[in-house]
Amino acid sequence: MDRRSGGETKCAGAPCAVAPVPTAERIPKETTLHRIVVVGGGAAGLELVTRLGDRLGRCSRASVTLVECARRTHVWKPLLHAVAAGSLDPNGYEVNYLAQAHWHGFRYRFGEMVGLDRTRKQVHLAGTFDEDGRQITASRSIGYDTLVIAIGSVTNDFGTPGIAEHAVPLETPAQAERFNRRMLNACLRAQTQAGPVRPGQLHVAIVGAGATGSELAAELHRTLREVVTFGLDRINPERDIHIVLIEAADRILPALPQRISTATHRLLQEIGVEVRTGARVTAATGEGLRLADGSFVASELLVWAAGVKAPDVLRHLDGLEVNRINQLVVEPTLESTRDPDIFAIGDCAACPRRGNSGTVPPRAQAAHQQAAHMARQIERRLRGLPLLPYVYRDFGSLVSLGRWTTVGNLMGFLSGRSVFVEGLFAQLMYRSLRLVHERALGGTRRAILGVIARALARRTGPLVKLH
């Protein structure tokens, strides 16, 4: 086992003044500390372990462990459309798990949860391997007293033929960067090929006109043109580049109020994005998309941004209850319905919504709120106090349409009514969402320094990623 590449030896020494940290992966049963294990270090899980580490881990009131399967860093998912379009370099936004654990009093364990033993209170992790197939970490089990599952969601392609092979989803930074590389390669190919640009070449089809698809369409419209200005003179943007946004519902942004949908649709059409509503994709090929009405959308680049589900592993977690999209069914207290020691937060949790027949929507603000609530809940649990229900507060929704505008609705605090916003104010509110997340992870000073550092970095390089 190559321990250096896994970073596990460093990780074992990470927490601050907690009781002696075991070097083995399995936390010994005889530890006197309450063992809190959080699986998934995304918007919800990473905020949760940071809070718990600060409040309980540092002062040895509990042992806090994060299990995370993705790369060694966290990038906030709502930034991924900008990574895909090349307008944002993820390096400036990454939070390193090892460093975060070291600074905030929790342990980070690299690995994918593949199973659970509720009787023995153990989470099973698969072994991990590097790009050359060398093992990084062996498969192992981690014991818990309180387990919080926060493994988010993945794209749901509803089994549509050809999507997995030909379309790129935007679930991870790696996928967003992969799409961006495809886009740059497509531009270089068009610039250097012998013949003229073919029909469908340099066309992008985005399936799903929710916030992600609509934001990506606007952002790509700009960045593709920006790339071409760097000497790719054989490409004529007006003639060759084409973006089509495809939505099965009868309007784009179907989950948001009509006014936001109308404003976004109008803006996208004005800048030249083709919007096709009421269009259901039945298959994808290497050349484009087949629609239910029999038509074919020729397109070299395909993005699938329609629908989410929770990861399949949740279906087989020792009998925990899941709904039809694999989410763990939880009580309003965030406890799983079948085990009071197991909780779920974020996109992977089906949490009842007060005053509403549905569940809390899979959104960043819900992940943030649930992380804060869960941290308080665990402190109450340790003190033997009854758990409190989580109540979702909808602050509204904002859709950023690149440099053109931002539109959305904000919920009035007193009236409880939705207020339509757009322009600079909406843009500032949109950016503040990311700042709230960064502040939860690193405090106010670090969040502000990050903003300044990135503003300076933007002045020293191209506004679009070119590699």
Q: Binding to ligand FAD by residue 25, rule CB under 6 A?
A: no
Q: Binding to ligand FAD by residue 51, rule CB under 6 A?
A: no
Q: With respect to ligand FAD, which residue has the nearer C-beta, 345 or 464?
A: 345
Q: Binding to ligand FAD by residue 243, rule CB under 6 A?
A: no
CB 208 within 8 A of CB 298: no
Gap between the Cα atoms of 87 and 156, Å rounded:
26
Q: With respect to ligand FAD, which residue has the nearer C-beta, 41 or 57?
A: 41
Gap between the Cα atoms of 18 and 64, Å rounded:
10
| Token code pair at residue 224 | 């593709």
Q: With respect to ligand FAD, which residue has the nearer C-beta, 55 or 77?
A: 77
Q: Which residue in 369, 246, 225 sits closest to 297, CA to CA?
A: 246
User: To the nearest whole angstrom, how small is the minimum distance from the Cβ of residue 326 to ligand FAD?
Assistant: 11
Q: With respect to ligand FAD, which residue has the nearer C-beta, 219 or 226?
A: 219
Q: Binding to ligand FAD by residue 320, rule CB under 6 A?
A: no
Q: Which residue in 41, 75, 300, 314 sits closest to 166, CA to CA?
A: 300
Gap between the Cα atoms of 350 and 346, Å rounded:
9
By three-state DSSP, how is residue 102 classified? Answer: helix
| Token code pair at residue 440 | 């939860």
Helix residue ranges, H only, 43-202: 43-52, 80-85, 97-104, 163-166, 173-192
Q: Can you give the three-state secondary structure of 303-369, one letter per residue?
A: EECCCEECCHHHHHCCCCCECCCCCEEECCCCEECCEEEEEECHHHEECECCCCCCECCCCHHHHHH
User: To the nearest whole angstrom, how small is the minimum distance from the Cβ of residue 368 to ligand FAD?
Assistant: 8
The residues, ordered by sequence, that sit 6+ positions from 274 with a Cβ below 8 Å of its Cβ are: 242, 243, 244, 245
Q: Binding to ligand FAD by residue 396, rule CB under 6 A?
A: no
Q: Binding to ligand FAD by residue 104, rule CB under 6 A?
A: no
Q: Binding to ligand FAD by residue 311, rule CB under 6 A?
A: yes
Q: 76 — phi, psi (to 5°)?
A: -65, 125
User: To the nearest whole angstrom, how small is the minimum distance from the Cβ of residue 237 to ligand FAD?
Assistant: 25
Q: Binding to ligand FAD by residue 43, rule CB under 6 A?
A: yes
Q: Binding to ligand FAD by residue 401, rule CB under 6 A?
A: no
| Token code pair at residue 284 | 């994808």
User: To the nearest whole angstrom, how small is the minimum distance from the Cβ of residue 47 to ligand FAD?
Assistant: 8
| Among 55-63, 78-86, 285-293, 415-423, the segment contacting ligand FAD (CB under 6 A) | 78-86
Considering only 6, 41, 57, 213, the residue that binds ligand FAD (CB under 6 A) is: 41
| Among 3-11, 147-155, 296-304, 437-445, the segment contacting ligand FAD (CB under 6 A) | 147-155
Considering only 11, 70, 186, 206, the residue that binds ligand FAD (CB under 6 A) is: 70
Considering only 11, 113, 147, 374, the residue that binds ligand FAD (CB under 6 A) is: 113
Helix residue ranges, H only, 8-143: 8-12, 43-52, 80-85, 97-104
**With CB under 6 A, what is the number of residues at the site for ligand FAD?**
34
Q: Binding to ligand FAD by residue 107, rule CB under 6 A?
A: no
User: To the nearest whole angstrom, how small is the minimum distance from the Cβ of residue 65 to ligand FAD?
Assistant: 12
Q: Binding to ligand FAD by residue 53, rule CB under 6 A?
A: no
By beta carbon distance, the residue nearest ligand FAD is: 42
Interaction residues for ligand FAD, span 165-224 (CB under 6 A): 170-171, 211-212
Gap between the Cα atoms of 393 and 422, Å rounded:
21
Cα distances (angstroms) measured from residue 221 to each of 72, 183, 197, 203, 464: 31, 12, 18, 11, 12
Considering only 6, 7, 15, 42, the residue that binds ligand FAD (CB under 6 A) is: 42
Q: With respect to ligand FAD, which residue has the nearer C-beta, 224 or 367?
A: 367
Considering only 38, 167, 344, 367, the residue that binds ligand FAD (CB under 6 A) is: 367
Q: With respect to ligand FAD, which residue has the nearer C-beta, 190 or 350?
A: 350
Gap between the Cα atoms of 467 and 457, Å rounded:
16
Print the binding letters for residues 257-296 with ligand FAD: x by CB under 6 A, - otherwise. ----------------------------------------
Q: With respect to ligand FAD, which residue has the nearer C-beta, 228 or 344?
A: 344
Q: 336 — phi, psi (to 5°)?
A: -65, 150
Q: With respect to ligand FAD, which residue has the nearer C-beta, 105 or 362?
A: 362
The residues, ordered by sequence, that sit 6+ positions from 367 with a Cβ below 8 Å of its Cβ are: 42, 43, 44, 47, 150, 345, 346, 347
Q: Binding to ligand FAD by residue 364, rule CB under 6 A?
A: yes
Q: How many residues does the chain have?
A: 467
| Among 35-43, 193-201, 219-227, 281-289, the segment contacting ligand FAD (CB under 6 A) | 35-43
Binding site for ligand FAD (CB under 6 A): 39-45, 67-70, 77-78, 80-81, 112-113, 150-152, 170-171, 211-212, 311, 313, 346-348, 362-365, 367
